[in-house]
Amino acid sequence: MNTKPKNLKFILGIIYFVVLATGLYFLFSVVSIQDLTSYEFIRSNKDIILKYKNENFLFLTTIFFIFTIVWMLFLGFITPFLLFSGFVFGKWWGILIILTSTTIGATLLYILAGYFVRDLIEQKLAPKFSKLRDFFKKNDILYFMCFRFAGGAGAPNPIQNILPVLFDMPIKNYFIATFLGNLPLMFVTVALGSGIEKVIDRNEELSFSTVIMSPEIYTPMIIFFIIVLIAFVIKKLYLKQ
């Protein structure tokens, strides 16, 4: 029995988790979670961030693009990146940058997961999601796009990214379905980040009254809840386990 492929997978898996742990350690040694989610922190550093962006647009875009791809490979949570993208780059550039980078990152994760941890994925996820196989066989692009749009039927984003390993979904179809399926909710979140930047421009506090009175904030939030409602209906009708 040839054990070299298994040994290689094990070694690369160890390297992956070591890099992940090291990266997270240094990231949160510099910036805390509390700072990343603090409106006052963002507000006080807004001018510095935007000035740097205006003077180094290509560099900042490239670094953010690459870091987002790597972050997806490390199974990171993506919402702060969506808000940051809208806040710094605006809703149009922001959605283009973040949607493309997260789609590339998710696709790379899908490829790596299929190669390194296929057996583990089948062991852990196949019993719960086996009923989805028939849907994927009929039209994997359409179904996975709806699955993404509906929030993965409650599955965390990293699980959504690797789930199609169970169904041997072609890489091209995975990329298209991920890009289109993530677009609506991501755009709303990016637009919300852009709206926060405009609220700060007016030197306002982010409060309930600000949300009610500011169309840059309440418009994407209303759209967000409409999308969530539609996703809930899709989940109930088409994604029953």
* pLDDT computed for residue 159 by the predictor: 86
Q: In which band, very low, low, confident or very high, does the pLDDT at 37 lie, cut at 50, 70 and 90?
A: very low
The three-class DSSP label of residue 3 is coil
Please state the rounded mean pLDDT for residues 186-193. 86
C-alpha–C-alpha distance, residues 222 and 78, integer Å = 21
For 77, counting Cβ atoms within 10 Å of its Cβ (0-12 exposed, 13-18 middle, 19+ buried), the class is exposed
CA 193 to chain centre: 15
Task: Answer whether residue 24 is part of any domain.
Answer: no
Task: Answer whether residue 157 is part of any domain.
Answer: yes
**Structure confidence by residue, pLDDT tens digits, 117-132:** 788 888 877 777 777 7
Number of domains in the chain: 1
Backbone angles phi, psi at 168, to 5 degrees: 50, 45
Backbone angles phi, psi at 209, to 5 degrees: -65, -35
- Domain residues for the domain of 52 are 31-238
Task: Answer whether residue 20 is part of any domain.
Answer: no
Angstrom CA distances, 235 to 71, 152, 155, 222, stand at 28, 8, 12, 20
Which residue, among 74, 95, 73, has the nearest Cα to 84 in the 3D structure?
95
**Structure confidence by residue, pLDDT tens digits, 97-119:** 999 999 999 999 999 888 887 88
Task: Answer whether residue 45 is part of any domain.
Answer: yes
Task: Answer whether residue 167 is part of any domain.
Answer: yes
C-alpha–C-alpha distance, residues 132 and 95, integer Å = 30
Angstrom CA distances, 35 to 6, 41, 88, 97, 140, stand at 41, 6, 16, 23, 40
Percent of the chain at pLDDT exceeding 90: 17
Task: Answer whether residue 1 is part of any domain.
Answer: no
Residues 6 or more apart whose CB falls under 8 angstroms from that of 166 comprise 121, 122, 125, 126, 129, 130, 132, 133
